[in-house]
Chains A and B, each alone.
Chain A
Amino acid sequence: MKAKLVDLVPPLLFGLAVLAVWELGVRALGVPAIILPAPSAILLRFGSSTPTLAADFLQTIRGVLGGYAVGSGAGLVVAILIDRSPFLRRGLLPLGNFVSALPIVGVAPIMVMWFGFDWQSKAAVVVVMTFFPMLVNATAGLAASGAMERDLMKTYAADYSQTLRMLRLPAAAPFVFNALKINTTLAMIGAIVAEFFGTPTVGMGFRISTEVGHLSIDMVWATIVVAALTGSAFYALVALIEQRATFWHASYRSREN
């Protein structure tokens, strides 16, 4: 994973080209701001509404982080617990895979009803959304250590918890991080969509749905920029931790093709 600076040039040029076409197109064709504001207008709005955007960010991120930590943590713990019983594993895994394909965001109205309008209900939606990907991935990860290594642990007379700590959890780490990365996006989606169903008058999802109602589309875009930056930063942070923690894994040692 040696990122060369040269590799960054084409995507940066592409991004700048898209922004330039957008800006020029909007100005040349006179596209009204309620349909598509120019990037410069969005940037201006971003600058002038920073306090509101910051308040929305703080409100939403509480639900995102709270739910992410609890949901991913619970998924990992349950995966470790059911790992001891092949029967439970065979029973829960197909269900976990099944639930992962369901439109779980739909539980948002129920959670808002149970936990109220504030960030707790958003965190609850995120918990439900992030739990199953972690459960499925961590279970697969715990089965990932090779038979040879397990035999070796047996010859060392290692007990269950030692094998778990020294062999199987480290071997599961790439899978766990995969789930953690998937869950960053899911957590953002869960928290924002849950805010469409009711919030105190602050939060990114709330801002988007009300400003759309007022047709101030530049504010909507500014909020989306915040959401995009937050999502990317969250993902990048987890990816960075992954790189540090699982540097030994094949995907970081060999060059990607």
Chain B
Amino acid sequence: MKNVLPVTTVLIALLALWYAAAALMNAPLQTDAFANAGKTSYSTGELVVASWGMERPKLPAPHQIVAELYKLTIATPPTSKRGLIYHSIITLEETLIGFLFGAGFGVGLAVLIQSSPVLNRSMTPWIVASQTVPIIALAPMIVVILNQFNVTGLAPKAVIAAYLSFFPITVGMVKGFRSAEPLQLDLMRTYSATRSQTFAKLRAPASAPFFFASMQIGAAAALVGAVVAEVTKSEDGGLGARLLAGSYYGQTVQIWAALFAAAALSAALVGLIALAGRLVLRRMAFVR
């Protein structure tokens, strides 16, 4: 908890910077707005305050985003399509479904690679190489191809979320299965343990820290996948669709609100996994 003071200080400094930047970036627009309204004499203070309350600012002030978030979550019924809760739930559903499949597939593939030396030697370089490929570029195409098979709605976006989350999980888990100490592996050999026994009793438990670390990365990646997929197929809603709609109509406050909602979702998911990880790892007596 010794970090509370420094973090709070930095946060306050960032907020101050944000307000200053908002005033600087919005002032030219606000000057025009004053001119259009026929208002010729105004003080700098008036200009600054007005630049923090514009309807379509270049950079909305933090309190405007908070107000927008309040308006769209608490003051709007959760079922309303105008509210952020409705869209957040869509994005969360896609993310979770995709993440579950991606995690299952990712761990499964890692087990396969671990258990078969042939697969290991032939696939590992490709998996490493695939990390360097911007796979998100495939998102629009996956949506269209699945559309040909009449797969619509949540499914195409969940597929992209799964697809984005499984790569980091496979890589992390392969590393985790290999993280067992050579000394302990030798011990298993002296017990004449079979390959699968070594896996079940040593490699799998030893991979627990890697499991939680890669689940965190995978969940964050799944959310990015879901949001980007929503941008490419925006008619069913979701936070990505809100981002796109906001950018079409120049509704900056709406974009920022959607962005904050996505950030909150991501933080909540990653935080939950981190918490679960800490509890489990403590019980498994990994150093903490």
Contacts known (A88-B10, A102-B263); A224 close to B132, Cβ less than 8 A: no
Contact (Cβ within 8 A) A198 B247: yes
Contact mask B41-67 → A, CB, 8 Å, 1/0? Answer: 000000000000000001000000000
Contact (Cβ within 8 A) A92 B262: no
In the bound complex, CA of A246 to CA of B251 (Å): 48
Q: Which of A10, A98, A101, A103 counts the most B-chain CB atoms under 10 A from its CB?
A: A103
Contact (Cβ within 8 A) A212 B144: yes
Contact (Cβ within 8 A) A101 B138: no
User: Which of A103, A196, A209 makes the CB contact (< 8 A) with B266?
Assistant: A103
Chain B residues near A88 (CB, 8 Å)?
Answer: 6, 10
Contact mask A107-126 → B, CB, 8 Å, 1/0? Answer: 11110111000000000000
- Smallest CB gap from B2: residue in A: A90
For B, the interface residue count at a CB cutoff of 8 angstroms equals 57
In the bound complex, CA of A242 to CA of B228 (Å): 32
Contact (Cβ within 8 A) B244 A197: yes
User: Which of B8, B136, B232, B243 makes the CB contact (< 8 A) with A106?
Assistant: B243
Contact (Cβ within 8 A) B141 A196: no
Contact (Cβ within 8 A) B133 A228: yes
Where the two chains meet, the residues of A that have a C-beta atom closer than 8 Å to any C-beta of B are 7-8, 10-11, 13-15, 34-36, 87-92, 94-95, 98, 101-103, 105-110, 112-114, 184-185, 188-189, 192-193, 196-198, 204-205, 208-209, 212, 215, 217, 220-221, 223-224, 227-228, 231-232, 234-236, 257
User: Which of B10, B148, B182 makes the CB contact (< 8 A) with A92?
Assistant: B10
Interface: B209 (CB within 8 A): no
Judged by DSSP, the binding face of B is helix
| Sample of 28 A–B contacts (CB below 8 Å) | A10-B121, A11-B124, A11-B125, A90-B2, A90-B6, A91-B6, A92-B10, A98-B267, A101-B270, A105-B136, A105-B224, A105-B227, A106-B262, A114-B58, A185-B132, A188-B134, A189-B136, A193-B136, A197-B247, A198-B247, A205-B137, A208-B140, A209-B232, A221-B141, A227-B134, A231-B133, A232-B129, A235-B132
Interface: B208 (CB within 8 A): no
In the bound complex, CA of A96 to CA of B123 (Å): 34
Lowest 9 CB-CB distances: which A-B pairs, in order? A91-B6, A109-B247, A91-B10, A14-B122, A235-B132, A188-B134, A10-B122, A90-B6, A11-B125
Chain B residues near A232 (CB, 8 Å)?
Answer: 129, 132-133
Q: Which of B96-104, B192-200, B252-260 contacts A (4 or more CB under 8 A)?
A: B252-260
Chain A residues near B126 (CB, 8 Å)?
Answer: 11, 14-15
Contact mask B254-281 → A, CB, 8 Å, 1/0? Answer: 0110110011001100100000000000
- Smallest CB gap from A11: residue in B: B125
Chain B residues near A10 (CB, 8 Å)?
Answer: 118, 121-122
Contact (Cβ within 8 A) B228 A224: no
In the bound complex, CA of A236 to CA of B262 (Å): 33
Contacts known (A14-B122, A185-B131, A232-B133); A103 close to B220, Cβ less than 8 A: yes
Chain B residues near A221 (CB, 8 Å)?
Answer: 141
Contacts known (A91-B7, A232-B133); A7 close to B121, Cβ less than 8 A: yes
In the bound complex, CA of A198 to CA of B231 (Å): 12
Contact (Cβ within 8 A) B231 A196: yes
- 6 extra A-B contacts, CB within 8 A, seeds A10-B118, A35-B145, A209-B232: A90-B2, A102-B220, A184-B132, A185-B133, A209-B140, A220-B141
Contact (Cβ within 8 A) A217 B7: no
User: Which of A36, A98, A105, A196 makes the CB contact (< 8 A) with B232?
Assistant: A196
Contact (Cβ within 8 A) A212 B244: no
Chain B residues near A110 (CB, 8 Å)?
Answer: 247, 252, 255-256, 259
Contact (Cβ within 8 A) B262 A101: no
- Smallest CB gap from B148: residue in A: A35
- Smallest CB gap from A8: residue in B: B125
In the bound complex, CA of A236 to CA of B131 (Å): 12
